[in-house]
């Protein structure tokens, strides 16, 4: 691993600064349009989207947290708010008393339907209108490898 160089050289810096810019600015940009359109943060929206694609639109909290790139604690707080707003319902897991199952409600489906078009428009205009298909694929692959590193750490 990382043989103790004192600092990043110019080439590394030229890659690092824009990457920092990206990870600091993209979440805010995504939040903004979703917040305006349907009053959800991007994380909340992501929770609902993941649920939407799950079997029976239902999933264990910890699996959901993992797929949403968040901690279980964060998800638990968010789930409480979403449940209060009727977008999601929690119930005890019948096969494991420790687990909680989160399920999408009709209200949640409805919100997703309202949110999707605007969100897709945002994502396209920020990412896929700028990048060729090949470039997008490269970006995804590089991102995937870095995420794997983060998870390993």
Partner DNA sequence: CTTCACTACTTGATACATCAAGCAACCCGA
Partner DNA sequence: TCGGGTTGCTTGATGTATCAAGTAGTGAAG
Contact footprint for DNA (CB under 7 A): 28, 31-32, 35, 41, 43, 60-63, 65, 70-81, 90, 93, 96-101
Residues 67 and 48 sit within 8 Å (Cβ to Cβ): no
Residues 68 and 50 sit within 8 Å (Cβ to Cβ): yes
Among the residue ranges 57-65, 92-100, 103-111, 112-120, the one whose residues contact a copy of itself (CB under 8 A): 112-120
61 binds, among DNA, a copy of itself, none (CB under 5 to 8 A by kind): DNA
Nearest approach, Cβ of residue 14 and DNA (Å): 25
For tokens 């428009």, name the residue: 121
For tokens 């209060």, name the residue: 84
Q: How far apart are CA 14 and CA 11, in angstroms?
A: 5
Q: How far apart are CA 60 and CA 99, in angstroms?
A: 6
The token duo for 40 is 């959800």
Instruction: Determine if 92 is a binding residue for a copy of itself (CB under 8 A).
Output: no
Nearest approach, Cβ of residue 40 and a copy of itself (Å): 15
Q: Which is nearer to a copy of itself, 81 or 113 (CB)?
A: 113
Instruction: Determine if 147 is a binding residue for a copy of itself (CB under 8 A).
Output: yes
Q: Where are the beta strands (DSSP E) in 1-153?
A: 58-60, 88-92, 100-104
With H, G, I as helix, E, B as strand and everything else as coil, classify residue 43.
helix
62 binds, among DNA, a copy of itself, none (CB under 5 to 8 A by kind): DNA
Residue (of 94, 77, 79, 69) closest to 148 by Cα position: 69
Binding mask 2-21 for a copy of itself (x = CB under 8 A): x-xxxxx--xx-xxxxxxxx
> Interface with a copy of itself by CB under 8 A: which residues?
1-2, 4-8, 11-12, 14-27, 29, 43, 46, 69-70, 116-117, 120-121, 123-131, 133, 135-147, 149-151, 153
């Amino acid at each position: 691993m990382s043989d103790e160089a004192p600092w990043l050289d110019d080439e590394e810096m030229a890659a690092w600064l824009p990457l920092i810019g990206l990870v600091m600015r993209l979440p805010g940009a995504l939040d903004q349009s979703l917040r305006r359109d349907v009053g959800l943060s991007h994380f909340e929206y992501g929770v609902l989207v993941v649920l939407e694609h799950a079997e029976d639109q239902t999933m264990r909290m910890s699996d959901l947290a993992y797929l949403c790139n968040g901690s279980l604690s964060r998800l638990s707080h968010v789930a409480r708010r979403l449940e209060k707003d009727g977008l999601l319902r929690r119930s005890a897991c019948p096969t494991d008393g420790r687990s909680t199952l989160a399920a999408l409600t009709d209200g949640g489906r409805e919100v997703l339907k309202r949110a999707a078009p605007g969100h897709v428009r945002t994502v396209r205009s920020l990412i896929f209108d700028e990048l060729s298909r090949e470039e997008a694929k490269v970006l995804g692959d590089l991102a995937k490898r870095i995420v794997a590193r983060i998870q390993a750490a």
